[in-house]
């Protein structure tokens, strides 16, 4: 694969990436991150800039390190050097629990993660297991059930009866119980039929625009991801090869040829 990318010219630098997210209030930044698993470095000198209520989509081939970026933000990787900040406060070394509880970062897993034998409502409440006050979880779960009819209609039924799309909605909603300000979403459309893919992106769009959530997502469906996101980064071998506004990348011939099947 690697020689295909050599035609792309110079990779974007830190200043280019900063410019892409502006103007706006910087929410989350990654500076010169080197991170991986065990002793193996997967991300090399990786930078990321995203503003409050902005969405950023990571695309790239399998194994490029897209999920590793979300893992690093959430605290699942070994960070060798570099810095992650939220509203100017360094969070690089916080544990996932601290990130969820004190700085409002929620991570929605790539794999199916609902508890099939628990009811929809119980699944939602699990999202707040880490909260000090359980009443708050009940209140948030209730708000979510009021908002999403599909979940409300099934609140007392086991999650295993949900359709694929409803299950994805439950996974996203469960993360919302903690009232996060940043959502890390890995492959929201994976395994879903087109009508559910639309639904999931509508929900993410609502969370971004109406609830001012900052969204960093990984999407194998590059077209959908770039149509949705304000900013796109193309990741190749743990480094950014191309970055641009989502719509610019959609019309970029290199991106089209490599990722949009055009």
Ligand X SMILES: Nc1ncnc2c1ncn2[C@@H]1O[C@H](COP(=O)(O)OP(=O)(O)OP(=O)(O)O)[C@@H](O)[C@H]1O
* Contact call for residues 220 and 183 (beta carbons, < 8 A): no
Q: E strand or H helix at 250, and its extent?
A: helix 246-250
Residue closer to ligand X by CB (options 68, 214) is 68
Task: Give the relative orientation of helices 134-147 and 164-176 as an angle to the nearest 10 degrees.
Answer: 140
- Residue from the set 21, 29, 54, 67 that interacts with ligand X by CB under 6 A: 67
Question: Choosing among Mg ion, ligand X, none, which partner's interface includes residue 62 (Cβ < 5 to 8 Å by kind)?
Answer: ligand X
Our finding on whether 67 is near Mg ion (CB under 5 A) is: yes
Residue closer to ligand X by CB (options 118, 190) is 190
The stretch among 59-67, 88-96, 144-152, 203-211 that binds ligand X (CB under 6 A) is 59-67
Residue closer to ligand X by CB (options 169, 222) is 222
* Contact call for residues 134 and 128 (beta carbons, < 8 A): yes
Strand boundaries in the chain, DSSP class E: 26-37, 40-51, 55-59, 78-86, 89-90, 105-108, 182-186, 214-218, 231-236, 239-245
Our finding on whether 80 is near ligand X (CB under 6 A) is: no
Question: Choosing among ligand X, Mg ion, none, which partner's interface includes residue 68 (Cβ < 5 to 8 Å by kind)?
Answer: ligand X
Nearest approach, Cβ of residue 208 and ligand X (Å): 22
Q: Pairing mode, if any, of strands 78-86 and 26-37?
A: antiparallel
Query: Can you give the binding site for ligand X, defined by CB under 6 A?
Result: 37, 42, 60, 62-68, 220
């Amino acid at each position: 694969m690697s020689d295909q990318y050599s035609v792309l010219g110079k990779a974007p630098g830190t200043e280019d990436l900063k410019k892409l997210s502006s103007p706006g209030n910087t929410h989350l930044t990654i500076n010169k991150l080197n991170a991986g698993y065990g002793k193996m470095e997967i991300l090399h000198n990786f930078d990321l800039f995203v503003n409050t209520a902005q969405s950023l989509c990571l695309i790239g081939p399998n194994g490029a390190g897209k999920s590793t970026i979300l893992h690093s933000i959430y605290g699942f990787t070994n960070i060798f050097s570099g810095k992650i900040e939220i509203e100017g406060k360094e969070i690089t070394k916080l544990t996932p629990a601290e990130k969820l509880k004190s700085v409002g970062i929620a991570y929605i897993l790539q794999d199916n993660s609902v508890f099939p034998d628990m009811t929809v409502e119980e699944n939602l409440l699990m999202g707040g297991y880490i909260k000090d006050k359980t009443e708050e979880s009940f209140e948030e779960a209730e708000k979510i059930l009021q908002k999403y009819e599909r979940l409300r209609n099934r609140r007392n039924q086991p999650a295993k009866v949900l359709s694929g799309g409803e299950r994805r909605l439950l996974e996203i909603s469960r993360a919302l119980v903690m009232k996060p300000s940043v959502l890390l979403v890995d492959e929201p459309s994976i395994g879903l039929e087109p009508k559910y893919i639309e639904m999931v992106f509508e929900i993410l769009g609502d969370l971004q625009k109406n609830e001012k959530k900052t969204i960093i997502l990984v999407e194998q469906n590059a077209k959908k991801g770039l149509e949705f996101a304000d900013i796109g980064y193309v990741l190749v071998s743990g480094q950014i090869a191309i970055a641009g506004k989502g719509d610019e990348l959609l019309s970029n011939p290199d991106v089209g040829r490599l990722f949009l099947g055009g």
